[in-house]
Amino acid sequence: MANWVPFVSLSLISIFLLACIVVKNRHISARIILFWLFISGLAYVFEYIIFVLFNSYTYHPHILSNNYNDSVLGSISSQAFSVPIALTYIVVYHLRATRIALIIGLFFLIETWFTYSNLYEHHWWQSYYTSFFLVLSVILSKVWWKLLENDPNHYVLFITLFFALSTVSLSFAWILSSLLELYILPLHHFSNPTRDLIAGNAMYIWFTTYFYTLVIFFRYKDKKYVLWTILFLLTIEAFMVQEGVLLLKSPIMLMVLPLFHLSMMVIGGYYYAHHYQTFVEVKRKGLPSG
């Protein structure tokens, strides 16, 4: 069996499960999708620390020719789909401890199988670490789901939006930077060049995502704030190009990032503002604001 088959199969099964959850709970479908993206965003932070910075393990889906990008793709399969969707299923259906234990046990068995099948390689990580962090993730997920259910204050909404947006922005930025190499933002810390540019690019995209979140949450529909944000980020990027920090495939690629910023704010703002309160609406409706 080809290495990619288990990775693709798990991702497709997870996506199918998410689709079923959304269809069967249409009245809260927007919250489900936002929650899934929020958990994925947190998982990306976790993976950045242990996988990118501390080289905890390597995935071997054998889909991409570049070994590190191939490993990142395997990571996305786990951290954007399998684990966050399982956590979403747990909180939406309020599963009891016994069923949660079965799901965590299933992930332990899958990880063990992946390890022995050379689909996944531990460096210093251990499978029981995964189980431990899954337990913590379940606790966090249950707490955050309740916060979203019960008239969340603006801090909860802002944090949720930030991490949900970061899932989308980091995923697409990885494609633009690491796969297509339209721009490169190396950290100059790791010997592996792909690992190095992924580490640097992620830090910058989290920075830009913070500004997307500010505009969407506090100034939605105010076009001048969108424009000023893009100009502000473009100024930073032009400076980074001049200083040799940001490397472009060609000079015209300087326009790629502003278009990317605009897309994130427009698409993210449209979805969020149609299903959730912005800060203005929270204040207007007299909901708790912290």
Q: Are residues 6 and 125 in the same domain?
A: yes
Residues 161 and 79 in one domain: no
Is the Cβ–Cβ distance between 70 and 59 less than 8 Å? yes
251: tokens are 């000079």
Do 191 and 142 share a structural domain? no
Number of independent structural domains in the chain? 2
State whether 142 and 2 are in the same domain. Answer: yes
**How many angstroms separate the Cα of 173 from the Cα of each of 15, 39, 255?**
21, 19, 14
pLDDT in tens, the chain (290 residues): 899 999 999 999 999 999 999 999 999 999 999 999 999 999 999 999 999 999 999 999 999 999 999 999 999 999 999 999 999 999 999 999 999 999 999 999 999 999 999 999 999 999 999 999 999 999 999 999 999 998 788 899 999 999 999 999 999 999 999 999 999 999 999 999 999 999 999 999 999 999 999 999 998 878 899 999 999 999 999 999 999 999 998 888 889 999 999 999 999 998 888 777 666 566 666 555 44
- State whether 141 and 198 are in the same domain: no
Whether residues 124 and 20 fall in one domain: yes
Q: Which of 121, 150, 179 is the C-terminal boundary of a domain?
A: 150
